[in-house]
Amino acid sequence: MAKIFDLYTKDKDGNDVSRTWYESTNIRYSECVDYDNKPKTLRVVFKNGTQYEYNNVDVNDFLLFRDAPSQGKALNEYIKAKGYEYKKLENADLANLDGELGFRMDGGIFVFYEGGKLTIKDNKDNVICDREVKLTPEAFDAVCAALEAVGKQLYTEGKGFEDEK
């Protein structure tokens, strides 16, 4: 198999998204939005950063592509040859995609604080902690320092801190 890492997440609209990184000659990454009871939207990123979006993709064609031993051959056979509507997108940020892959494969932790809510997720986006709590920037930094002290690599985002009074 050419798959390196699979991840299922939700997009901002609550749709399931299959995100997969590959060890392939030509293809680096794919992302498929799984709309309930509707054809899928597939985005494919090539190793040079070029990316295309294929619309109304049948779920079976997507699965055959994603799980094939060669994504390049599968893209030609199951996606391109079937004439799915497509468009070329702006080039992908490969450094960002590769950085995220490394972070996720190393068991990174995501720590978010916004609007009085602290959320901590593991490398597969499973929620570890989801709490309503008022934090100062110093308290947020202390939470992050505690996680780093036990060997966790962090991605953090904090905004909307309460002013300390």
**pLDDT tens-place string over residues 64-100:** 999 999 999 999 999 999 999 999 999 999 999 998 8
The more confident residue out of 58 and 153 is 58
Instruction: Work out whether the CA dihedral 76, 77, 78, 84 comes out positive or negative.
Output: positive
Q: Which residues pair with 109 in a beta bridge?
A: 154
State the burial class of residue 65 (Cβ atoms within 10 Å of its Cβ: 0-12, 13-18, 19+).
Answer: buried
Is pLDDT above 90 for 49?
Answer: yes
Q: If pLDDT is split at 50, 70 and 90, which confidence band does 159 have? A: low
Spell out the domains of the chain, with CATH numbers in brackets: 3-102 (no CATH), 106-158 (3.30.720)
Q: If pLDDT is split at 50, 70 and 90, which confidence band does 165 have? A: very low
Return the pLDDT at 162.
55
What are residue 150's phi and psi, to 5 degrees?
-100, 20
Is pLDDT above 80 for 158?
Answer: no
